[in-house]
């Protein structure tokens, strides 16, 4: 990705990977605008990190996405990076009819939220001299966690969508990155203290190094590669069996 200075808009950046990326980019000297559903967290982050701008956004609300895209691009005509980090992850029991509400919310936030945000910003980014899009899939896009079937399905869809996006934007100034996290110690699925998950700060350091080094493509930290390449390496059945115990 283009070296600093960039102007970056991130969704889902009030905690976890989204906030971590925002703070790392801010420290590098980029102009950072973060969004999220929780206005109290946005206010606290802005107070603790002067220079970071905030805007409330629930990516499940298409009308609000359009409003925010207009607001952000008007206020920051130099905007050249959009990162779609917003996502939810909940367990589902597929024989329980109640799981359908969870599945629908997950698709709306994780998949449609990403598509709608990109749709709103891409025409603007395509007019910039240099620009980038960062989507966030998961190692579970390649081997699912059976406990969270719709989450894994949306991340597989994000991977496929990003592949197509990269091809369609090849003749534009917009470079396309796909961040593929492993399990990371964040509030997602209450993994903050999960010893099987990668600590957040080392993950961020490795991801930022990859982002700086690559022209575009998948951003794969070492920990996620056993999931990413399980089918290629012939270990898919074993990895799926391991994940099935969670």
Residues serving a catalytic function are 151
Question: Using CA atoms, how far apart are residues 189 and 59, in angstroms rounded to an integer?
Answer: 19
Question: Using CA atoms, how far apart are residues 111 and 87, in angstroms rounded to an integer?
Answer: 9
Task: Decide: residue 3, CB within 10 A, 0-12 exposed, 13-18 middle, 19+ buried.
Answer: exposed
Count of beta carbons in the 10 Å neighbourhood of residue 169:
18
Up-side HSE of residue 155: CA atoms within 13 Å toward CB?
Answer: 27
Question: Using CA atoms, how far apart are residues 69 and 235, in angstroms rounded to an integer?
Answer: 42
């Amino acid at each position: 990705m283009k070296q600093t200075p960039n102007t970056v808009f991130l969704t889902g950046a009030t905690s976890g990977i989204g906030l971590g990326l925002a703070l790392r980019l801010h420290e590098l000297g980029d102009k950072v605008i973060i969004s999220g559903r929780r206005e109290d967290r946005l206010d606290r982050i802005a107070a603790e990190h002067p220079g970071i701008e905030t805007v409330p956004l629930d990516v499940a609300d298409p009308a609000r996405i359009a409003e925010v895209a207009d607001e952000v691009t008007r206020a920051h005509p130099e905007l050249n990076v959009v990162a779609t980090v917003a996502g939810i992850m909940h367990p589902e029991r597929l024989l329980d009819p109640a799981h359908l509400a969870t599945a629908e919310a997950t698709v709306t936030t994780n998949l449609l939220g990403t598509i709608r945000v990109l749709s709103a910003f891409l025409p603007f980014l395509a007019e910039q001299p240099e620009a980038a899009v960062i989507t966030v899939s998961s190692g579970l896009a390649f081997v699912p966690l059976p406990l969270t079937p719709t989450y894994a399905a949306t991340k597989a869809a994000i991977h496929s969508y990003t592949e197509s996006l990269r091809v369609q934007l090849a003749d534009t100034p917009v470079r396309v990155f796909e961040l593929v996290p492993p399990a990371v110690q964040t509030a997602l699925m209450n993994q903050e203290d999960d010893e099987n998950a990668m600590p957040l700060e080392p993950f961020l350091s490795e991801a930022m190094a990859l982002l700086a080094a690559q022209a575009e493509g998948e951003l794969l930290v070492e920990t996620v590669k056993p999931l990413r390449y399980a089918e290629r390496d012939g270990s898919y059945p074993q990895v799926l069996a391991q994940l099935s115990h969670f």
